[in-house]
Amino acid sequence: MEYKIEINNQEEIYDIGSVAKHAAGAALLRVKNTVLLATVAREDTPVEEDFLPLTVNYIEKSYASGRIPGGYVKRETKPGDFETLTSRIIDRSLRPLFPKGYAYPTQIVVFVLSCDSEVDLQVSALNAASAALYLSDIPVNKCVSGVRIGKIDGEFVVNPANSELKNSALDLYVAGTKDELLMIEMRAVSSLKEGEQSVNEMSEEEMVDAINFASEKISDASNLYEQVFAPIKKENAALEYKASVLNEDIYQHIKENYKLNVYSALTQMAKSERALELKKVLELIMQDNAAKEWDKSVVKNALEAFKHNAVREMIVKGRIRADGRGLKDIRPISIATNILPNTHGSCLFSRGQTQALAIVTLGSDQDAQTYDLLTEKAPNSDKFMVNYNFPGFSVGEASPLRSPGRRELGHGNLAKRAIEPTINKNSLYTIRLVSEILESNGSSSMATVCGGALALRAAGVETKKLVAGVAMGLVFEDEDYAILTDIMGLEDHDGDMDFKVAGTKDGITALQMDIKLGGIAPEILKEALYQAKEGREYILNLMEEANSKIVTNEEILPKFELFSVDASKMVDIIGQGGKIIKEIIEKYTVSIDLNRDNGEVKLSGINRRQVDAAKEHILDIVKNAGVGRGFDRRGGGHDRDHKGKVVEFEKGTILDGVVKRVTDFGAFIGLPGDIDGLLHISKLAEGRVERVTDIVNVGDKVKVKVLFQKGPKIELGLESKE
């Protein structure tokens, strides 16, 4: 049965009960010509462990946009980055809705069956998944709505079309229910204004206004979804939930007898050290006479609960943190740039016990990452890539090294969104930024932002502004709360909300927020954003100081040149059959990209001197193209005889000439009729000639044969030299 819902600037048509009937819940959603199928399935037996075994998979089908998958295997294989990031968005938005103690293996799958290029797939995918979950027999009694907010011509727009989003200064994605925000992701979109790129940072005030605008739209949508779907929602299944294993008596015993021991363990900064100290406290408790009848796992749960509350009490009541910092204090920062002598740019950024080594490599257009989007017919090219790596040793674990997972892709994407607006869209470089996390105790993604921004400068990339990032935390206890700047792992784990804010000195470029407690008052959000601004400005001052001391690795930096010539001269640069351009590439070890429409020439190479020489060579060809092609050296027009006609010679004609000019690729010969022809280096002798001057020099008199003439362009062969 179909249900049409007009909400938030689009019509959504839900087909319920027609397909996937064996799933616990299913919804077929159509928005314009986009069709998605969302299904929810669960096992009947819960897992033994106390956690939510939820898996979310968003999968794009190539047939949805009339394509056959590329590559050797003609079927969908490993999910792309967009699919992985979208799966992560859906997971983060829906996971908080599950009942406490729910431990049944559950899978949410979203298939894109048909794709309209103007429809936002991430918004539609979340709304479809939420509908399927709400309609299922799983006791989830709220509908989630996802909205994207743009800012076009100074006005907020809800769910802009994909083409409209390209002209937006803001890309804000918010998910929530009618009374709670659950997840926020934001990026500023760089733009070109009057030929110059600007960075569209968002001020804290604008950010709060945009989120409030999104919250209103989410509330409207969630209420409408529940109104439409409630009558057809399946009856809740009879499920068993994991009971709380917290033993109040043991908890009280720990509080009265081991409080100082726990507080002492919390002062250990490293995760591994803290875990070891808490393990010692657990063993101490188990040796207590009162513990003879206690199960160790129950004691461990009580200890974990007390630790959790102790962290929160220290922060909210004592206004101090486990490491002794105040709520706004930032851990000690150290910065070292270009510590890797043979990389284009590097920065070791350390903040407390979090450390990121950022490395930048510069390449040409050929190095750009090619990728496909279902909403676009032609392949896309990404000239700025951020790869985030999180090896186990960064947290003291001996875990195997694997390909990046969802977390790594998400953190890398956040860093990219933060930095990208400051990079010139018309940059000649393809840039790869790699962040190797060497230590982690809280927000390695923000360390990646800081280190990455400086590594770009260390590689000689002229970014518009420096970008810094800081991770914030929020803890609520009754009516009191505390906002934390630069949270460490312990505070992230035991807090109620964490949000990461990155930006320049003038505003926010990227934001990511996961809310564990539900709604957040606008005034608290505003306070948190302004506190983040203070922290960001402090870090930026340290980064500016480090930036002033950067010494670039000039000797190993590649050189890129972009210049324009007369488009009609491109044929002279290319040469017959590409002969001349191939010789330039081989001689100077460069890459050349020519735009024959506008005369743009892109040069790149690993040696700056070679690139400069290649540029001079090309300009020399262009300068003398008129001479070589019979252009009048006295100004304007082709060389012609006195009657105004182009001088023409029959093929094979032997002529006397004089060498007028010598270049690397040949010599220009002055011929009768005041016209010049090109004697290419390959026509000087039967064997290979290393240098033109080995055979002829300026002023030499030569006999040449006309090999080819088309209009004023004449190619010659050498017959003899006097």
CATH class of this structure's domain 333-551:
alpha beta
What pLDDT is stored for residue 685 in this prediction?
A: 84
What pLDDT is stored for residue 397 in this prediction?
A: 87
Residue 71 CA to residue 144 CA, distance in Å, equals 37
What pLDDT is stored for residue 200 in this prediction?
A: 83
- Give the start-to-end residue ranges of the domains of the chain: 2-232, 248-316, 333-551, 558-628, 654-721
What pLDDT is stored for residue 639 in this prediction?
A: 44
Q: Note whether 28 and 19 are within 8 A (CB).
A: yes
181: Cβ contacts below 8 Å, ≥ 6 apart: 174, 175, 211, 215, 218, 513, 515, 518, 519, 520
Kindly list the distances between the CA atom of residue 567 and the CA atoms of 573, 579, 595, 622, in Å, as whole numbers in the listed order.
10, 18, 8, 10
Residue 661 CA to residue 543 CA, distance in Å, equals 54
What pLDDT is stored for residue 51 in this prediction?
A: 87
Q: Note whether 475 and 484 are within 8 A (CB).
A: yes
CATH number of 558-628: 3.30.1370.10
Q: Note whether 316 and 257 are within 8 A (CB).
A: no
Q: Note whether 379 and 371 are within 8 A (CB).
A: yes
What pLDDT is stored for residue 643 in this prediction?
A: 43
314: Cβ contacts below 8 Å, ≥ 6 apart: 263, 266, 320, 321, 322
Residue 389 CA to residue 129 CA, distance in Å, equals 30
**In this structure, is the dihedral angle defined by the CA atoms of residues 213, 219, 222 and 228, taken in order, positive or negative?**
negative
As beta bridge partners, residue 202 has 508
Q: Locate the DSSP E strands across 368-523.
A: 369-371, 380-382, 384-389, 430-439, 468-477, 480-485, 497-504, 507-515
What pLDDT is stored for residue 245 in this prediction?
A: 67
CATH tag for 2-232 (out of 3.30.230.70, 3.40.50.1000, 3.30.1370.60, 3.40.190.10): 3.30.230.70
What pLDDT is stored for residue 89 in this prediction?
A: 96
What pLDDT is stored for residue 194 in this prediction?
A: 40
2-232 and 558-628 in the same fold: no
Q: Locate the DSSP E strands across 478-573.
A: 480-485, 497-504, 507-515, 559-564
Question: Which helix (H) or strand (E) covers residue 588, if one does?
Answer: helix 579-588
What pLDDT is stored for residue 145 in this prediction?
A: 97
CATH tag for 654-721 (out of 2.30.40.10, 2.40.50.140, 3.40.50.300, 3.40.50.880): 2.40.50.140
pTM greater than 0.75 (yes/no):
yes
As beta bridge partners, residue 93 has none
Q: Please, what are the averages of pLDDT over each run of 10 residues along the chain (722 residues)?
A: 95 96 97 98 92 96 91 87 96 93 96 97 98 96 96 94 93 92 89 58 93 95 96 94 82 91 81 82 90 86 91 91 92 97 96 96 88 86 95 90 91 96 86 97 94 97 95 90 93 88 96 80 88 97 97 87 87 85 89 87 85 90 63 37 60 90 86 83 83 88 88 83 79
Collapsing DSSP to helix, strand or coil, 312 comes out as helix
